[in-house]
Structure 1
Amino acid sequence: MAGGIMMVLLGIAAMIGGVYVRRNPEAGWRMNEGWKVRGDSEPSRAYIESRKFTGLMAVAAGALFAVLGIVVILRAINT
């Protein structure tokens, strides 16, 4: 049962992180690459799209973990 709770919490955290990345794909670029460039610079369109896709995959993986965690909890309750 404790494993199921941890899976649900991990899933929720992954979904929150994925939504953040989907809404702010440039934030990661500023932290990782932006400080290396002088002046006003922006990430490429390909970088932004790849970060949005990464956020979508994180949301999907988080949802899967949350559902599997709920299943584990329900099976523990029923046994």
Structure 2
Amino acid sequence: MLIFAGLIFTVIGILNIVNPNFAWYLKEGWKVDGDSEPSDSYVALTKIGGVIGVVFGVILFFTGIFS
């Protein structure tokens, strides 16, 4: 189970690093008609969260392999 959780965290983290606007469009973007985009601070915090997610996912993955 830890291996699966590690993979999920890693994939979501990579998605947040590569395309931080994706989460914003899923949560808020569909509500707005027009040229609205996330703020720079939102994008930066989403990328930081992605890095944390990848690190946590890798730790869970290797914990699941070696347990």
TM more than 0.5: yes
RMSD after superposition: 1.1
Q: Which runs of 4+ in 1 moved over 6 A?
A: none
Question: Deviation at 1:70?
Answer: 1.6
Q: CA deviation digits over 1:11-47, x for unaligned, max 9?
A: 1121111101111100111111112323111110000
**TM-score under structure 2 normalisation?**
0.89
Q: How does 1:1-79 map to 2 (within 5 A)?
A: 6-72=1-67
SS in 2 for 1:39: coil
Q: Scaled by the length of structure 1, what TM-score is found?
A: 0.77
Report percent identity of matched pairs.
36
Unpaired stretches in structure 2, ≥5 consecutive residues: none
Structure with a larger share of its residues in helix: 1
- Segments of 5+ residues of structure 1 without an aligned counterpart are 1-5, 73-79
Q: How many residues are matched?
A: 67
